[in-house]
Amino acid sequence: MRNNLKLSLLSAILLWIAWPPIPYTGPILLIAFVPLLLCIENILLSSIKKKGRKVFLLAGLTGLLWNTASIYWVYNAISAVMPSYIAIFISLIPFALAALLIAIVFRLYYQLRKRYSTIASLIGLVCFWMAYEYIHQSWDLAFPWMTLGNGFASTHQLIQWYEYTGVYGGTVWIWLCNIALFLIICKQIIYKDRSVRRQHVFAFVALLVIPSGISLFQYFSYEENENPSNIVVVQPNIDPYAKWSMPVTQQVENLIQLSRSTAQTNTEFFIWPESAIPERPPGVNEEEIRSNNSYLQIRDFLKDYKNGNVLSGIESMVIYDSLESPSARKFIDVEKYYDVFNAAVLIDNSSRVQFYHKSKLVPGVEQLPFASLSFLKPLFAAFGGSTGSYGKQEEPSVFYAQSGIGAAPVICYESIWGDYVSKYVREGAQFIAIVTNDGWWGNTSGKSQHLDYAKLRAIETRRWVVRSANTGISAFINQRGDIVRQSEWWKPAALKTDINLNDSITFYTNTGDYLAYAGCFGAIIYCVLLIGTLLKPKTHIA
């Protein structure tokens, strides 16, 4: 049992070392699960009792340690606004929830190994894993931060083919390599079979080399079509916990001065960060924005830039005569309702104003996933919102400049969803504008991971990503996923670059997460098989 624990811990350590933002370690993911698979094989062949429970616990331990070591910064954000003992409890939700789902995946794999061949069971393991990742990006407690394919974000030169597969292609590649090496080691060490053929080793090497080689060829041969647009991203560097008590006009003026410091007469977009216009709750009334002081400041600023547009984060509200959405709240003194939005706005030199309402809301902070979790309301309020959920729109919408340029307004957490960002591109977005406020996490690896993940969106869609972060890191990312320019952490900055707009549509943009759907379908088939054989005698493990 002690050796099995060591193998479980080894997998957790390898997965953590391989994870962003540690540079150049992504390929370790291709072998990181081998110790855990060997651990489970040892348990299957042992004479110990309650094998299924031991598989569940050791796989869960691997997942818990890996997740906690990689996203420890969640605690930093929560402990800044709540007592430590409460912050630890709430942090366990993202730390332990994925670990629980991982433990279930391996417990199902154990059930398959008792009834089916090794190869059939390992295929089932991959299907169950992909179903777990898809579920964990789709339900009320969605947190796809640790999707396996994200692990190559700091080694993006090796996964240029994400334009065909998205991050789930990375998940499949990782599992195929781990399984191939596991079968070789398992046959020699556990089953003492020295007849491993050269073609088995060759197959493993091919799984490592061929996808990497294809990607490197794509990377060095990729050329962008010339279609320049001058963009400025602004990083005001305002303490996210203090900005709600600062005068809004002062903050907007600061953004304007930073924008002017680097702008050209032909600058077409000024990108300001999430909640850059932080009207106190319940936010700017969208119907009355043209009389808002911040709007008037921005319109006056844009007079010097004929084709200029300000794309900014904003706290906004919409008033209803009746209860029109599940998130709407009632005014205390009148028979009207309102929704509060973490939103983006596009303001240009015309009278038109475009709004986008963030769709992918952070569980617990921006929306209450279950009505019974009322104890999370103080946390929500501490992050600048109201004691309830933000409103949202179900599908993304593209901002169009007067010149016809389409921009994808992606707000913070939404940039983790490849399929969702692709929808903007299908709707006509020619570049991706990520507005975020990564100062919540402090100077931790969270801000760097978030930046690295943006590179994946650039590759999947072959669009430039322009990223404006309140306190860092702001950046320009080209269509290959290279960071062309970036700001320093916790320093005000304004960056300017000519990006290339793109109208072409990648295979992944057209098809979305088709590999995840295939994995879910396979998982359903395997579940049906397990249910059908549940009462049958167990066969010998092969």
Question: Alpha helix (H) ranges present in 189-322?
Answer: 198-221, 248-262, 293-302
- Average pLDDT for residues 386-393, to the nearest whole number? 73
pLDDT in tens, 180-230: 999 999 877 766 666 666 778 889 999 999 999 999 999 999 999 999 999
- Average pLDDT for residues 276-280, to the nearest whole number? 87
What interhelical angle do 34-45 and 51-70 show, nearest 10? 160
Cβ(338)–Cβ(329) under 8 Å?
yes
- pLDDT score of 186: 86
- When mean pLDDT is compared over 295-304, 438-447, 532-541, the highest value belongs to 295-304
Distance CA 477, CA 486 (A): 9
- pLDDT score of 83: 78
- Average pLDDT for residues 284-311, to the nearest whole number? 96
Residue 101 has pLDDT above 90, yes or no: yes
Q: What is the pTM of this model?
A: 0.92
What count of other Cβ atoms lies within 10 Å of the Cβ of residue 443? 14
Residue 330: what residue type?
K
Residue 250: what residue type?
Q
Residues paired with residue 87 on neighbouring β-strands, in sequence order: none
- pLDDT score of 389: 79
pLDDT in tens, 15-65: 999 999 999 999 999 999 999 999 999 999 998 899 999 999 999 999 999
Coil, strand or helix: which one is 387?
coil
| Closest by CA position to 456, among listed 135, 171, 143, 75 | 171
Give the pairing type, strands 228-235 and 269-271. parallel
Cβ(120)–Cβ(71) under 8 Å?
no
Distance CA 483, CA 473 (A): 11
Which letter, b or e, does each residue of 351-365 get, where b requires 16 or more Cβ atoms within 10 Å of its Cβ? eeebbbbbbbbbbbb
Length of the chain: 542
pLDDT in tens, 404-454: 999 999 999 999 999 999 999 999 999 999 999 988 788 899 999 999 999
Q: Which two tokens stand for residue 57?
A: 């616990």
pLDDT in tens, 446-495: 999 999 999 999 999 999 999 999 998 999 999 999 999 999 999 999 99
Distance CA 209, CA 215 (A): 10
Cis peptide before 369 (omega within 30 of 0): no
- pLDDT score of 68: 95
Of the chain, the percentage scoring pLDDT greater than 90 comes to: 76
pLDDT in tens, 139-193: 988 999 999 999 999 999 999 999 999 999 999 999 999 999 999 998 777 666 6
Instruction: Specify the range with the lowest mean pLDDT, choosing from 86-95, 365-374, 468-477.
Output: 365-374
Give the pairing type, strands 309-320 and 269-271. parallel
Distance CA 481, CA 248 (A): 35
- pLDDT score of 485: 98
Q: How many CA atoms lie within 13 A of 493 on its CB side?
A: 19
